[in-house]
Amino acid sequence: MHILKKKTLLVVSGLAVVLVIGIVFFLQRLSAAPYVLATVERGDITQEVSASGKVESPTKIDLRFKGSGKLVLLDARVGAKVSAGKLLAKQDTTQLDVQVKEMQAGIDLQKAKLSQLLNGSSPEDVSISETAVLNAEQSVLDAKRNLIDKISGVYARSDDAVRAKSDQLFDNPKTSTPQLIFNFPYDMQLEADVEGERVLIESMLNTWSESLDSISVESDLVSASTLANKNTAQVKAFLANEALIVNVLTSNTKITQATIDKWKTDISSARTNVDTAVSSLLLAEENLRTKESLLKTAKVQLALKTAPVRSSDIAVYQAQITQAEASLEKIEVQRKDMMIYAPVSSVITSVRGEVGEMVGPDVNIVSLASGGALQIKLNVVEDKIVNVRIGQHARITFDAIEDQEFGGKVVAIDPAETIIGGAVYYQATVQFNDVDERIRSGMTANVWINTATSKDTLFVPASAVQDKNGKKIVQVLEGENVVQREVVTGIENDKGVIEILSGISVGEQIILGAEKKKK
pLDDT bin (cut points 50, 70, 90) of residue 515 is low
Q: Which residue has the higher pLDDT, 272 or 346?
A: 272
Count of Cβ atoms closer than 10 Å to residue 103 Cβ: 22
User: DSSP letters along 259-314, please?
Assistant: HHHHHHHHHHHHHHHHHHHHHHHHHHHHHHHHHHHHHHHHHHHHHHHTS---HHHH
Please provide the DSSP assignment of 373-416 as one string.
Answer: --EEEEEEEHHHHTT--TT-EEEEEESSSTT--EEEEEEEEEEE
Give the separation between CA 235 and CA 247, rounded to whole angstroms: 18
> Do 343 and 84 touch, CB atoms closer than 8 A?
yes
**Whole-number Å distance between alpha carbons of 205 and 159:** 7
Residue 127: exposure state from Cβ atoms within 10 A (0-12, 13-18, ≥19)? exposed
Helix (H, G, I), strand (E, B) or coil at 353: coil
Q: What is the pLDDT of residue 371?
A: 58
Report residue 34's pLDDT band, with 50, 70 and 90 as the boundaries. confident
Q: How many CA atoms lie within 13 A of 223 on its CB side?
A: 9
For residues 397 and 119, the model is more confident at 397
Give residue-wise pLDDT tens across range 186-208: 888 998 889 999 999 999 999 99
Position 11 pLDDT exceeds 60: no
Whether 305 shows a pLDDT value over 90: the answer reads no
Higher per-residue pLDDT: 349 or 42: 42
Please give the Cα distance from 279 to 238 (Å, whole number): 19
Tell me whether strands 481-492 and 423-432 are parallel, antiparallel or unpaired: unpaired
Q: In this structure, how many other beta carbons lie within 10 angstroms of the beta carbon of residue 499?
A: 20
Confidence of residue 6 (pLDDT cuts 50, 70, 90): very low
Mean pLDDT score, 23-47: 69
Please name the amino acid found at residue 259: T
pLDDT band at 516; cut points 50, 70, 90: low
Report the C-alpha gap between 366 and 69 in whole angstroms.
Answer: 16
What pTM was computed for the model? Answer: 0.38
Distance, CA of 181 to CA of 168 (rounded, Å)? 8
Alpha-carbon dihedral of residues 202, 205, 207, 208, nearest 10 degrees? 170
Between 259 and 184, the higher pLDDT residue = 259
Sequence letter at residue 25: F
Taking the C-alpha atoms of residue 384 and residue 405, their distance in angstroms, rounded to an integer, is 23
pLDDT the model gives residue 10: 33
Task: Report d(CA 407, CA 388) in Å as an integer.
Answer: 16
AA letter at 28? Q
Average pLDDT score over residue span 219-227: 93
Task: Name, in order, each residue with C-beta under 8 angstroms of 436's C-beta and a sequence gap of 6 or more.
Answer: 406
CA angle 191, 157, 170 (to 5 degrees): 30
**431 vs 30: which has the higher pLDDT:** 431
Closest C-alpha among 365, 381, 272, 290 to residue 52: 381
Contact assessment for residue 313 and residue 186, using Cβ atoms and an 8 Å cutoff:
no
Burial 325-349 (b: 16+ CB within 10 A, else e): eebbeebeebbebbebebeeebebe
Would you place residue 9 in the very low, low, confident or very high pLDDT band (cuts 50, 70, 90)?
very low
Q: Which one, of 235, 251, 236, 239, lies nearest residue 182 by Cα?
A: 251
What φ, ψ does residue 42 adopt, rounded to 5°?
-120, 140
Distance (Å, whole) CA 347 – CA 369 = 5
